Amino acid sequence: MTDETDERGSARRERRKPETSAMPPVRGAESEEGAAAATPADRAPAGGFRHWRRQRPFVGGLLVALGGIEMFFSGQLDIGHLHVQLGIEGLQATIIPIALLLLGILAITMPAHHVFYGILALVVAIYSLIGVNLGGFIVGMLLAGTGAVLVVAWMGPRVPAPEVAESTT
C-alpha cells in the first residue's frame, strides 16, 4: 500500500495488486490448467468455520452452554453433606440448566436476537444461585453470567470498509 496526499492534505491509501511472479505456486500444479483448478471453493473449508464463528457471538454462547452443562451435572452431585435444593425437588435443577444450554445454542445459531437471548441467559444464571445448588457451586453461574454478558455485548459481524471511488475532477 502507498500513501498519497490530496490537495486537502489528507492521506489516501491505494492498494497495489500483487505481482504474479511473487505468488507461490499451487501445490502439484506446474501448468496453467493446474492453477485454474485451485478455485476459492477449494480453499473455503480451511477458513469456513473461522468465518462462520466470527459472524456470531460464538464464545459467549459457548460459555452460556458450558455453564448450563456444569449446572446440570452439579445438580446431580453430593459433596459430603452439602446438597442444596429449593423448590420442587429436582425440577429447577433440571429446567434451569436446560434453559441455559438452549439459550447458548440459540445465541450462536440466531445472532440477530443476541441481546434478547443474552439478557434471558443472564437472568436465568443469576436465578440459578438459589435454584440450582448455589448456581452450580458458583462456577456454572459465573460461566453462564460471563457468557451472557459477552452475548449481549457482541457488536455484530465486521463489515469491511467500503473503498472510496476516486473522483476524476
Contact 96, 123 (CB under 8 A): no
> What's the pLDDT score for residue 29?
47
> What's the pLDDT score for residue 153?
96
Q: How far apart are CA 109 and CA 106, in angstroms?
A: 5
Residue type, 108: I
Tens digits of pLDDT across the chain (169 residues): 555 555 555 555 555 555 555 555 555 444 455 445 555 555 555 679 999 999 999 999 999 999 999 998 887 666 677 665 555 667 888 899 999 999 999 999 999 999 999 999 999 999 999 888 888 889 999 999 999 999 999 998 877 777 776 666 6
> What's the pLDDT score for residue 159?
75
> What's the pLDDT score for residue 66?
97
Helix (H) or strand (E) holding 5: strand 2-5
Helix residue ranges per DSSP H, the chain: 32-37, 40-54, 58-74, 91-109, 114-131, 133-137, 139-153
Q: What is the pTM of this model?
A: 0.64
Q: At what angle do helices 114-131 and 139-153 cross, to 10 degrees?
A: 160
Residue 3 forms beta bridges with which residues? 13
Which three-class secondary structure state does DSSP give residue 46?
Answer: helix
